[in-house]
Chain A
Amino acid sequence: MPPATLIDSTQLNLIINRLCYQLIENHDDFQNTVILGLQPRGIHLAEAIQKRLQEIIPGLEIRCGRLDITFHRDDFRRREAPLSANSTKVDFIIEDQKVILVDDVLFTGRTIRSGLDAMLSFGRPSVVELLVLVERRFTRELPVEPKYIGKSVDSYDNQQVKVVLGEGTKDKVLLLTSEIE
């Protein structure tokens, strides 16, 4: 089955805009707020949000880091092959900061759990909020719910939501369906 487009680039633009205004509503001048994008695909969204926020509020300084969760996953040795790690780049301490954790797709919630664990290596934040571009409904294996949602979608287990962002081509979100064996 050919991939279906869940969000095209125009809609994506609008969604990122909306998410930014929601963040501004809750975080005011972002003095004590940091954004952490989860590797590998959450970082593009995190950076897009940082850029858009700075366009909306010129001169705004908001810290944005990249967090890799590979060594904090709960499926080590339970996968066929280990995942290769990505770089972590967090140049600030998150002690007493408000953290906005950013990822592209929320599915089982396990990545976010690992992300919360990895994040604690950098201090104890005062608040942690979760922002995702796509929330796949009714698929959670852990009690994880986002505060900011780009779009909620219903999907089957054999489907995959793929966010194409910052890869040189047109930004979009696709729904891929694999054949059921």
Chain B
Amino acid sequence: MSSLSVKHLLGIKHITKDDIELIFQTAENFKDVINRPIKKVPSLRDTTIANLFFENSTRTKLSFELAEKRLSADVINFSAAASSVKKGETLIDTVNNILSMKVDIVVMRHPNPGAPIFLSQNVDTTIVNAGDGTHEHPTQALLDAYSMREKLGDLKDSRVVIVGDIKHSRVALSNIYCLQKLGAEVMVCGPTTLIPKHIEELGVKVSHNIDEALGWCDVAICLRIQLERQGTGEAVKYFPTIREYATHFGLTKEKLDGLNKDIVVMHPGPINRGVEITSDVADSSSSIILDQVENGVAVRMAVIYLLASKLNP
């Protein structure tokens, strides 16, 4: 009998190792559920969940929605493009209006870092952060670590390298927190322009050479190059061309074949094939990209189930 130490899932920074273990243990049972002929349990039949997506998302939104429906919750969806936010409504007003319709849990993605934390301090509901700007994306980190554990067992002392656009990545930050809490060593790798200054303060290693990084690691997480954050026209670019980036930091079959060991390759998606990862690597047996997606539903079910158990009846 156990429950989470938090009321909201705002970021991995705010939860403990025991919380992570409990989420994984619960997710294991839900993974079993979603592989049955009837993939649904009635636990949350009296719970209503609002998915508020102030920023575009495909897989996270689908994954959350599926997780909620598999728990039998009632789900309402909201996307900023078609809402009153465009008419000038504030975040607190928008959410309070939705809560007046008797919503129990809010799953939110927002372009501003810290938006879920701000909301949790100002409205009375349970918040699940589905990604806030360049800050955190806790459920992605949980499903990444869960998928790694499935493949490698205990993550203590395992070595994980995160390759790519660390600067703009909320996945990277959440993964660093999560993997460190589970005892893994983390390295970040990418061009100097895409690695935040002083990131060593978080206790991670830094490398600008992908061959060195791959030689060191057991797992490589490729991140998407966020072209939308590159700036346009005359804006200063983070690297000269896509092709140059792909040559220096793209994960290719040749680079993996050059290692005298097998490593696990992961990617949170969406993939730019041929940029940060080539098709033959993404589709190879080393890649667990599709396992990550499957586990995403189970882990999100676990998070929502455990948070819902703390609501008042």
Interface of A with B (CB < 8 Å)? 68, 70-73, 76-78, 81-88, 93, 117-118, 120-123
Contact = CB atoms under 8 A, between A and B. Distances in A.
A82 B3 contact: yes
Most interface-central of A72, A77, A84, A86 (chain B CB within 10 A): A77
B37 A122 contact: yes
B1 A81 contact: yes
A87 B25 CA distance: 10
A70 B29 contact: yes
Contacts of B71: 71
Interface residues of B, number: 26
Contacts of A72: 41-43
* B interface, over-half SS: loop
A117 B42 contact: yes
A85 B26 CA distance: 7
A76 B37 contact: no
Given A71-B43, A76-B43, A77-B312, A120 B38 contact: yes
A122 B33 CA distance: 10
15 contacts: A71-B41, A71-B71, A72-B41, A73-B43, A77-B309, A77-B311, A82-B1, A82-B309, A84-B1, A84-B25, A87-B29, A88-B32, A118-B41, A121-B37, A123-B37
Interface of B: 1-3, 22, 25-26, 28-29, 32-33, 36-38, 40-44, 71, 305-306, 308-309, 311-313
Contacts of A87: 28-29, 32
A72 B42 CA distance: 6
A118 B33 CA distance: 10
A71 B42 contact: yes
B7 to A, nearest CB: 14
B42 A84 contact: no
A80 to B, nearest CB: 8
Contacts of A86: 29
B313 to A, nearest CB: 5
B313 A77 contact: yes
A122 B29 CA distance: 15
B92 to A, nearest CB: 26
A121 B36 contact: yes
Contact of B38 (A84, A85, A121): A121
Contacts of B41: 71-72, 118, 121
Nearest to B26: A85
Contacts of B33: 71, 88, 121
A176 to B, nearest CB: 18
A71 B312 CA distance: 17
B3 A81 contact: yes
A28 B40 CA distance: 34
A71 B37 contact: no
A77 B66 CA distance: 22
A1 B44 CA distance: 40
Contacts of B312: 77
Contacts of B311: 77
A43 to B, nearest CB: 15
Contacts of A88: 29, 32-33
A39 B305 CA distance: 19
A154 to B, nearest CB: 29
Contacts of B42: 71-72, 117
Contacts of A122: 36-38
Contacts of A123: 37
Contacts of A68: 29
Nearest to A95: B37
Contact of A93 (B2, B3, B37): B37
A84 B313 contact: no
B1 to A, nearest CB: 5
Contacts of A70: 29
A123 B38 CA distance: 8
B207 to A, nearest CB: 40
A117 B43 CA distance: 11
